Every structure is written in structure tokens, then in C-alpha cells.
Amino acid sequence: MGEAIVITSGKGGVGKTTTSANIGTSLALQGKKVCLMDTDIGLRNLDVVMGLENRIIYDLVDVANGRCKLHQALVKDKRFDEKLYLLPAAQSSDKTAVTPSQMKKIVDELKQEFDYIIIDCPAGIEQGFQNAVAGADQAIVVTTPEISAVRDADRIIGLLEKEPMDPPRLVINRIRTNMVKRGDMMDVDEVTNILAIELIGIVADDEEVIKASNIGEPIAMNPNSKASIAYRNIARRILGESVPLQHLDDASKGMLTKLKKFFGARV
Amino acid sequence: MVKLHNVMIKGTKDGLLLHLDDRCSFSELLNELEDKLLPHQQVNDDSHVLNVRIHTGNRFLSKNQEKKIKEIVGHKKNLQIESIDSNVILKKDAERIKRESEIQVITKIVRSGQILNITGDVLLIGDINPGGKVMASGNIFILGSLKGIAHAGCLGNEEAVICASKMSPTQLRIADCFTRAPDREEDKPQEAECAYVNDAQQIIIDKLIVLKKIRPNLNRFVEGGL
């Protein structure tokens, strides 16, 4: 029996879909059987980020309305032999095309077959959100270190606490180290002080992420990027490993600085 | 044994005190009240208005019954009802009074969009985040940071106060007064503070220690000893 994790944020554009794609990919790389589920009906993206857009035959709404069997709608990602599947959202309907109870039924069915179901939630707190959380056992809230995103995340956490699921966990996305250093961006502590939930990962702002999603290859597949390691660490924490948080500030330092540090000089 | 008086009238220096017996039937009581008040009309016709306090003993009066008594007494021009008292009240009212005089302890983080509405005083163990709101008809005590909105005395009690371990609210409201955070964030002292309404109807934020002087009634729980 698998576990369903909803990835949500309240505010749009903070990286729910990217996070869903990369956590799903990382879990699959760890050998788990994963189904990514896009619930953003009408504005689907997850298929594009995963590079699976051209393989979609049926979608979530078709399954909900019984126009096809669940397994017919699942798109297999051939890069991860039999480990990663996508249940795409419909692009032509809207959020009211499915109900929370239909969603719960689909998620429950998927849980029989998969280890993890990663549910990509649409922005907002309306029916789309209700649909996405209906079948979930756990929630991960994504925010960026901006006041508006944190405010919306706080609202979402309040709503999630009313749902019958484990307390939500937090991913802080797109941290810009140099801005934090200058004091122009909230740091990790400020965000966790306000939201007061368990932090499951921090992801630095990385141009590679955008490049990767544009070519339909989640960054987590590239082991050399900082963001990739961050996502893989999140996946390992989901699996129950205790992995220390990444240091955000040593990436930009050159060889000379490292040498100086090695010889104990003041940097 | 036949009881003679169901209605006893006493004169005090503040006016009349009517003792209504609680053993007889209500209609008997009404009849006797009417009989007894009738002669007064002649005597006191031109004199000044008398205040009347009515005590009903262990009898509970419904709204309707209260209205009937008021009608009878109100017929006499020079009588004015000051109060109707009884030894008994409805369980519902008693519970409400109890709730209003209790401190409710709540452990939670009030998050953006959430409203906590309390009758009486509230002790919140946790933060109020920006966008969150706590309303209480009494005082608000917060063991945590107040970053959202707190509204004490929301039914109009200007004596109510707001205390917080860390006071950095978006807005404070007490009864009908309100204040907002300064536009520029100053360096706030990291100590607990309280807010109250002063004589000029302004909300003042000050150190906790001033409360003892300004709102001595907060100490109602202390009996004897201290």
C-alpha cells in the first residue's frame, strides 16, 4: 500500500510542478515505484516539465468519468524502466470536472500499485485544492522566501491542518544566497519561524532548473547540479533517511578560497 | 394556613422594594400586586417618581412574565422599575457568565485567514501569524508572537487589554479603538508588552508592569493571601 503526497503552495509560480516532477524523479531513482498526478485541470504543466506531453492519450477527467480504465491513462516514463508514471490532467475542462470523492477513489486505486503518488496541486484554495488534498496522506508545502509566498503558505498550512493527514512539511524553494547575505531576502530561519512546521528541504535558485524543464528533463536526473542534489535529499528524507541540510553558500567559492580556508587564513 | 402577603412592599431611601413571594402561583401574585399598587396611585399621584426594585426570591421569571409585571407597575405613572432580581437564573445564562469570566487556554498557531473568536478571556499559547486574527470579548494574553490582528473587548469593553510575549501586530483593536503597526519597522524591544486604551481613547503599548496600576481588576483571581 503506497503513500499519497500532495505538493501544494497556495501561491502560484513558486515551483509546485517543478518540485513534484523532481521529487517524483528522485524517488524513482531511489528505486521506488512512483506515479505523478497532475490535478491542475485546465492548466496542466507537469507533462511538459517531464517531457511526456506527446504521449498523453487519456487524462484524469477521462478516468474520473469512466471513459477509460485508470491504467490506460497512465503515461509510462521510459527513462525509468517501469518506475515512473504520469497521470496527466485534462487541458480542456476546468477544476469542477472532477469531485474530491472521485479523486480519492483514483488515488486509493493508485496506492494499490505504487509506492508513492505525488499529487501536483493547482494554485489557489478552491475546488482544485480540495480535489488535490482529498486523497492525500501527507502534504508538502512549497514556498519561496518572499513575504507573499510565505503568507499564502501559512494560509494553506492552516487549511491542511484541518484535513485528516499528517502535519505538512516544508520546502523552501529558490533561495538566492547572495540576496540573503545582503539581507534583501528572508533567510531559512525567518521562514520557518513564521510557518512553524518541519522543514524537509531547501533548494537554491538555479538557472539549470529552468533549462532542464524546458527540455523536458527534470533537473534531478542531472547529478551535478546543486538543485538536483537538494531534490534528491528531499526524496531521501521522505524515505525516512536523516540527511543534513545542504550548505547554500560554498558553491560560488573558488579554488583559492578553499585553499586559503584549508591553510586557516581568514577569508 | 392561609398566607396573607404574597407581595411585600418596603420603602427605602432609594425608593420602593417589592418582595414577590416565590411559593404562590404567578396569577395570584399578579392579582395581589395589582391590588396593592392601586391605592398608591391616589396617594402619590402628584409626587415625584419613585424607583422600584423588584425581588422575586427563588422564582424564575420568563420574559413574558417579566413583561406582565412591568406592565402592572408601569401603569402607575410615578413608579419606575429600576431592576428585577431573582436568586435563580437559567442554566444557559449561568454557563455564559461562567464562560465570560473564565480564561480559555488554546494551544495553536493562528495562521493567515484563520479567525479565533472567544467569549471571555483567552490565553493563546502559540503565535498569531500575519493575516490571522484573534477576537475575544475579554482580554487577550498571548504566549508567543502577535504578528496578526488582535481584537480584545470586541463587544465593547474598553477595559480589555492585549498582552503578548512579542508584540509586533499588523493591527490592534480594543473595543472600537484601533491602531496599526508603524509603517517603518523600528527596533522593538524583545520583551513582553501590553496594550490598553487610555483616557483619550488611544491604544497605548507599554511594558507589562504598568498593567497592575492601570487595570487592577485583572487580579480578580487572587483571593486573600497575596
User: Could you give the number of structural domains in chain B?
Assistant: 2
Alpha-carbon torsion, ordered B79, B83, B89, B94, to 10 deg = 160
A143 is in an annotated binding site: no
Domain presence at residue B30: yes
Does residue A267 belong to any structural domain of this protein? no
Is B212 part of a structural domain of the chain?
Answer: yes
Of A246-250, B41-45, B48-52, B204-208, the poorest mean pLDDT is in B41-45
The minimal CB distance from B131 to the residues A151, A159, A161 is found for A151
Among B108, B111, B114, the strongest candidate for a mutation testing the A interface, having the largest count of A CBs within 10 A, is B111
- B185 pLDDT above the threshold of 90: no
Same domain assignment for residues B130 and B193:
yes
- Whether B22 and B122 map to the same domain: the answer is no
Instruction: Give the CATH number, domain containing residue A93.
Output: 3.40.50.300
Lowest pLDDT segment from A180-189, B73-82, B189-198: B73-82
Q: Do A154 and B127 make contact, defined as CB atoms within 8 angstroms?
A: no
> Is B124 in the same domain as B14?
no
In a domain, B2, yes or no: no
As for how many domains chain A has, the answer is 1
Query: B134 and B81, same structural domain?
Result: no
As a whole-number percent, the residues of chain B with pLDDT over 70 amount to 88
| Same-domain pairing of B122 and B203 | yes
Per the CB < 8 A criterion, the answer to whether A37 and A102 are in contact is no
Chain CA centroid to CA B106, Å: 22
- Whether residue B226 is contained in a domain is answered as no
Nearest to B163 by CA among B134, B183, B187: B134
The per-residue pLDDT for B188 is 65
Residue A109 domain boundaries: 3-262
**DSSP string for A39-74:** --TTS--HHHHTT-GGG--S-HHHHHTTSS-HHHHP
Domain that holds residue B149: 94-221
**B146/B216 same-domain check:** yes
The domain spanning residue B39 has which CATH number? Answer: 3.30.160
- Across the interface, which of B127, B130, B132 has its CB nearest the CB of A196? B127
Q: Do both B107 and B198 map to the same domain?
A: yes
Would B1 be classed as within a structural domain?
no
> Are the Cβ atoms of B111 and A157 closer than 8 angstroms?
yes
Asked if B129 reaches chain A (Cβ–Cβ under 8 Å), the answer is yes
| Cβ distance of B113 and A158 shorter than 8 Å | yes
Chain B partners within 8 Å of A152 (Cβ)? 112
Residue ending a domain, choose from B85, B109, B141: B85
pLDDT at residue B79, rounded to an integer: 80
Structural domain contains residue B198: yes
> Which element (helix H / strand E) includes B104?
strand B103-107
- Inter-CA distances, A184 with A181, A206, A215, B32, B185, Å: 8, 18, 32, 82, 15
pLDDT 10s digits, B39-72: 655 555 556 778 888 888 898 888 888 888 888 8
Which is higher by pLDDT, A93 or B5?
A: A93
Q: Judge whether A17 is annotated as a binding position.
A: yes
Contact B176, B199 (CB under 8 A): no
Residues of chain A neighbouring B109 (CB-CB closer than 8 A): 196
User: What integer is the mean pLDDT of B4-21?
Assistant: 83
Does residue B40 share a domain with residue B12?
A: yes
Q: Give mean pLDDT, residues B106-127.
A: 94
Read off the pLDDT of residues A136-173 as tens digits, 9 standing for 90 and up.
999 999 999 999 999 999 999 999 999 999 999 999 99
Last residue of a domain, one of B85, B107, B136: B85
